[in-house]
Amino acid sequence: MTTELSLADLAMLTAGASMWRTAAVPEAGIPALSMADGPMGVAGARIDERDVSMLTPAPVALGASWDAALVEKVGRLVGGEAVRRGVDLMLAPNVNLARSPLAGRAFEYFSEEPLLCGTLGAAWVQGCQASGTGAVAKHLVCNDSETARDSMNAVVDERTLREVYLLPFEMAAEAGCAGMLTAYNKVNGSWCAEAGDIVQAIAKDEWRYPGVFMSDWFGTHSTAGSLLGGLDLEMPGPARFLGARSAAAVRDRAVPLARLHDAAGRVAATARRFAAGKAPPMPEAQATALLAEAAAAGFTMVRNVGAMLPLDPRRFGRIAVIGPNASAPCFQGGTFAKIALKPDAILPLDALRARFGDAVIGYEPGVDPQPKLPRMPVAPARALGDGCAQGMTIDYFDNVAFDGAPVLSETRDTNSLTWFHGVHEAGALQCAAGTRASGTFTPARSGEHVFHVGGTGALRLLLDGVEVYRRDGELAPGDVMGRLKSGDADCVAVPLQEGRAMEVVVELRYTAARCQGLWYGVRGPGGALEMMARALRLAESADAVILVVGETSDASVESKDRPDTRLPAEQVALIEAVCAANPHTVIVTNVGHAFDTPWDHLAQAVLHCWYPGQEFGPALAQVLAGDREPGGRMPVTIACDEGDYPALSLRPDAQGDLHYSDGVRVGYRGLAAKGIAPRHAFGSGFGYATFSLGDAAATPGEEGGWVVSLTVRNTGTRAGAEVVQVYRTVPELTLVAFAKVGLQPGESRTVGIPVAARRLQTWRDGWRNLDGPVELLVGRASDDLPLSVSVTAA
């Protein structure tokens, strides 16, 4: 209850107190809540590589598991990590949809299918909140792309909005999530933070959802508009539009007092619900085992000619490991929710060497593992007593002339720095200021070295005191975030001598803004032709090749979508050359979204690993060796051609509108409606076990639903799991239920899969039953549905 609160206290509760905390009213028993970003773990508020946390598989990898029980355990792990870190609310899960394969944050989405996304999102919520940590589902709604996300207007019809894009949020609400985070974009002309027809009319009034609605960071645009649209909490603090201005709006009769009570009451109820009652974190050994299990559960095998996998060293005595992602894997994407990975995370290459021993005869990357921003392997310019033996010495100054002593110094073993106002200690420098990074670099080879440098202001690069690069001119405050998110760097080539140590200094001068960033790196000599030649010689000398290709974390970022669905051209050339040199090749992909795979027929086996989190290496070695099953099924569709995707381009038109013209026919639905065969269908994939399905039937279920039953038999010699999928055929092919069924060799089981009544309805000015008998197809994938039953909506 908030009736005892003053108008000032009510208003105070509608805005954050700081970057990551809500306001408190201790005398009313309303504590402050601490928040952190997710969903792949607990992101450090400072965006600092030293704030290490457990890194789970990305949502797309969890989506590939099709396993709600497993995802609930992962949510529980993250909730426990939040308890360990003193965090009360996680900004997760992300239940937007992978509408287009170009979406920059597609790796953060469970699937292109709303039912799969909603089911797994709800499971994650329940697991996280079992630890006493609140889950805030994001981003409400249609934040399914990054291009112009701060201004674009998603134009979407009501049926599509209800059946597709709101469904995962509705399921998160039914799971009792703590809150929902409104998106930056507009929907049908209204900012999401002011979208009363969605937040107020649907979520609060229709769903009767009691949780708190908060803005994405700096995502508010008005006072009365936000409050009347149903927003309860503006983040971050200090307030820009709500807070004290909420009280003024009530006094001016622009906002009813009852609306302020509703907003403050939701914030207060959430604070009381999640400030206490915490469960202990998961023990580290148990958590590590779970993360390896979860990674393998999402590995999706789409090709295995001649049962090449599992790899048997008795059959393939000499195994070559090739590819950039074996030594420089992409554990996660590059958003502000990036998790600081533990420094001793086992690389795929090291795990493969440990598992296969002397059978691994060598490794070659074949192409540059860090094509955009290489590392800066330096020793600190001076010792700071922090025990760091490598990395740059970072000095922060409160002036642009670098006069006097720095106000803060630290050693940072990273090639990319970000600091926010009010979070990082240097964020207090809200003035014209400067940052200097310095270290000692010793070239391993003589020749031309390319230095990369980028940042949110004017830049200088000095080698042994000599300026070799300069970019003048500070960015205007409105340009800083775009520069930071793009991560683009400039380059300069300098000839260096092997073994001759030199001082590297990078200087950044900037004006006041809410965040700043500096990034740098160096690439030594050794051209592409030389790397490719070494890789091919190794491939030719081996009995089998494990070829690990994929992305770097800067391939999936906030505020930028991809230009195409292809792997880098040099990686495609490597795939083609290695497969020609050795036909016994296993291609392992490390990509976080649907992507073009016209080369997959060249290899004997293909395994899609997505972004698998910190246990990528051990999980990969275990799956390739046959210690674990590759348990994944496709969470997205891979089309034969980019033009086949129902939605591809994510660029708004001249008016800023992005038309969701694919309607409800997103992903596999659109291809099926047009009779277009995919390269890899939604739901497809297989493990080492084999299964048969038969004897499908349907019987009435609870609350007007149905239960589809069938017999599932493990026909192989290994234990494994099959994902049984049920689709309706009208008005378009649509997933209505699924179950993951684990069986021992030779075991047979009758499985009942509930189909909720809502799954047999469509939106026509209200939820309406589908007309007449509805055919339900049952099988293993959207293009492999051999069984059918007929039901009638109640």
Task: Render pLDDT for 168-222 as a digit per residue (tens, 0 to 9).
Answer: 999 999 999 999 999 999 999 999 999 999 999 999 999 999 999 999 999 999 9
C-alpha dihedral (760, 765, 766, 767), degrees to nearest 10: 0
Helix (H) or strand (E) holding 129: helix 114-130
Rounded to an integer, what distance in angstroms lies between the CA atom of residue 784 and that of residue 693? 11
How many structural domains are present in the chain? 4
Asked if residue 269 and residue 339 are part of one domain, the reply reads: no
HEC string of 395-426 equals EEECCCCCCCCCCEEEEECCCEEEEECCCCHH
Do 107 and 553 contact (CB within 8 A), yes or no? no
With a pLDDT cut of 90, the percent of the chain lying above it is 89
Residue 682 lies in a domain: no
Among candidate residues 620, 643, 659, the one where a domain is terminated: 659
Asked if residue 612 and residue 571 are part of one domain, the reply reads: yes
Structure confidence by residue, pLDDT tens digits, 356-393: 999 999 999 999 998 889 999 999 989 887 778 899 99
Residue 327 lies in a domain: yes
Is the model's pLDDT at 477 over the cut of 70? no
What average pLDDT does this structure show over 261-278?
97
pLDDT band at 350 (very low <50, low <70, confident <90, very high): very high
Structure tokens at 622: 């275990």
Residues in the chain: 794
Asked if residue 698 and residue 766 are part of one domain, the reply reads: yes
pLDDT band at 335 (very low <50, low <70, confident <90, very high): confident
Domain carrying residue 23? 1-30+189-280
Q: Which CATH number do you get for residue 242?
A: 3.20.20.300
Residue 206 lies in a domain: yes
What is the distance of C-alpha 74 from the center of its chain? 14
Q: At 154, is the secondary structure helix, strand, or coil?
A: strand
Q: Which CATH number do you get for residue 541?
A: 3.40.50.1700
Which one, of 108, 106, 123, 103, lies nearest residue 171 by Cα? Answer: 123
What average pLDDT does this structure show over 321-350?
93
Asked if residue 463 and residue 390 are part of one domain, the reply reads: yes
Asked if residue 642 and residue 620 are part of one domain, the reply reads: yes
Is the model's pLDDT at 1 over the cut of 70? no
Mean pLDDT of the chain: 95
Asked if residue 359 and residue 389 are part of one domain, the reply reads: no
Q: Which CATH number do you get for residue 409?
A: 2.60.120.260
Rounded to an integer, what distance in angstroms lies between the CA atom of residue 372 and that of residue 364? 19
pLDDT band at 559 (very low <50, low <70, confident <90, very high): confident
Residue 544 lies in a domain: yes
Q: Which CATH number do you get for residue 761?
A: 2.60.40.10
Which one, of 730, 725, 717, lies nearest residue 781 by Cα? Answer: 725
Asked if residue 488 and residue 450 are part of one domain, the reply reads: yes
Which one, of 18, 57, 12, 54, lies nearest residue 30 by Cα? Answer: 12
Asked if residue 502 and residue 400 are part of one domain, the reply reads: yes
What average pLDDT does this structure show over 85-114?
98
Structure confidence by residue, pLDDT tens digits, 700-723: 999 999 999 999 999 999 999 999
Which one, of 709, 711, 669, 725, lies nearest residue 791 by Cα? Answer: 709
Which one, of 527, 229, 141, lies nearest residue 366 by Cα? Answer: 527
Burial group, residue 307, by CB count within 10 angstroms (0-12, 13-18, 19+): exposed
Q: So which residues are the catalytic ones? A: 216
Residue 251 lies in a domain: yes
Asked if residue 465 and residue 392 are part of one domain, the reply reads: yes
Asked if residue 531 and residue 478 are part of one domain, the reply reads: no
Asked if residue 357 and residue 396 are part of one domain, the reply reads: no
Asked if residue 651 and residue 704 are part of one domain, the reply reads: no
Residue 765 lies in a domain: yes
